[in-house]
């Protein structure tokens, strides 16, 4: 598993940035695909957590799958989720979210509504995801 990944940052917290390569610790980030952002060249958002209440959003040119491949070099560093809801608010369309493989909790959804099979907790956020708990455990322990 990679401890850090590198990505080309084009926007920080909504402000355009001269493209530059930054390194990110895999255990302190989540990665989300972006539909629209302040930067037309951004394909993903890396959220770097200073702590559970403070973070910085970096918009990068790399895609979620490409960043996942970097994070999972030499073993599993991150797990890919299909996020249908965040904090019980339904997404317009499911989005890909990558979180550190060994830093989340998952439980089965109480009801399988709208394709949500399990609920994942990471950094005080609740994600309703399509993956099952068994599938998430298999992915994180591969």
Confidence of residue 38 (pLDDT cuts 50, 70, 90): low
Q: Is the pLDDT of residue 40 over 80?
A: yes
Look up the domain containing 57 and give its range.
4-71
Q: Is the pLDDT of residue 60 over 80?
A: yes
pLDDT for the residue numbered 34: 86
Q: Is the pLDDT of residue 22 over 90?
A: yes
How many independent structural domains does the chain possess?
2
Do 67 and 113 lie in one domain? The reply is no
Of 53, 71, 89, which residue sits at a domain end?
A: 71
pLDDT for the residue numbered 2: 64
Do 57 and 113 lie in one domain? The reply is no
Q: Residue 112 and residue 130: Cα distance in Å, rounded?
A: 9
Residue 39: CB partners within 8 Å, gap ≥ 6? 10, 11, 16, 59
Residue 110: CB partners within 8 Å, gap ≥ 6? none
């Amino acid at each position: 598993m990679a401890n850090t990944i590198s990505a080309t940052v084009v926007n920080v917290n909504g402000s355009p940035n001269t493209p530059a390569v930054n390194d990110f610790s895999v255990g302190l980030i989540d990665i989300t695909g972006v539909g629209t952002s302040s930067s037309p060249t951004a394909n993903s958002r890396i959220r770097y957590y200073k702590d559970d209440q403070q973070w910085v959003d970096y918009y990068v040119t790399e895609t979620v799958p490409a960043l996942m491949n970097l994070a999972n070099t030499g073993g599993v560093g991150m797990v890919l989720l299909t996020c249908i809801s965040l904090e019980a608010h339904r997404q317009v369309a499911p989005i890909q979210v990558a979180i550190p493989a060994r830093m989340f909790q998952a439980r089965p959804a109480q009801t399988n509504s709208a394709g949500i099979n399990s609920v994942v907790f990471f950094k005080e956020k609740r994600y309703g995801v399509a993956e099952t708990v068994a599938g998430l455990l298999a992915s994180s322990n591969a």
